[in-house]
């Protein structure tokens, strides 16, 4: 059973920081392609940040300069460092990734169940 699980969400005041983690489990060797998305009730899910297997990154204009995506293949994890948080960043954050199985196959994509981030003004 391969799955992704997010953690690190919570309540923070505007201007504060949070670091989200997404841990892969199961027969997974490492992360391949990854991305962080967020969604507010009643609105479409949007891409926040993404990283290719080669390390190229892409960020939504609203988070450029504030958020940083990274990965640790040894820990089979994806991270999103969020600084200078704003109330508009409040949403459920989801990780999404193609993975490399332990028998070296590309599998996925997989979604995590999400973690709530709430930023107060």
Closest C-alpha among 105, 115, 96, 88 to residue 6: 115
Q: Does residue 111 or residue 31 have the better pLDDT? A: 111
CA dihedral sign of residues 33, 41, 20, 89: positive
What confidence tens digit (pLDDT) does each residue in 24-72 have? 998 888 888 899 999 999 999 999 999 998 889 999 999 999 999 999 9
Residue 38 is predicted with a pLDDT of: 98
Given this model, what pLDDT does residue 84 score? 98
């Amino acid at each position: 059973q391969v799955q992704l699980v997010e953690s690190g969400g919570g309540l923070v005041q505007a201007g504060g920081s949070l670091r989200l983690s997404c841990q892969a489990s199961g027969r997974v060797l490492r992360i391949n392609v990854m991305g962080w998305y967020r969604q507010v009730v009643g609105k479409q899910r949007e891409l926040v940040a993404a990283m290719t297997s080669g390390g190229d990154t892409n960020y939504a204009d609203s988070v450029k300069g504030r958020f940083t995506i990274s990965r640790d293949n040894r820990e089979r994890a994806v991270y999103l460092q969020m600084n200078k948080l704003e109330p508009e960043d409040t949403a459920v954050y989801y990780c999404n990734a193609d993975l490399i199985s332990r028998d070296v196959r590309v599998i996925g994509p997989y979604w995590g169940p999400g973690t709530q981030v709430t930023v107060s003004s």
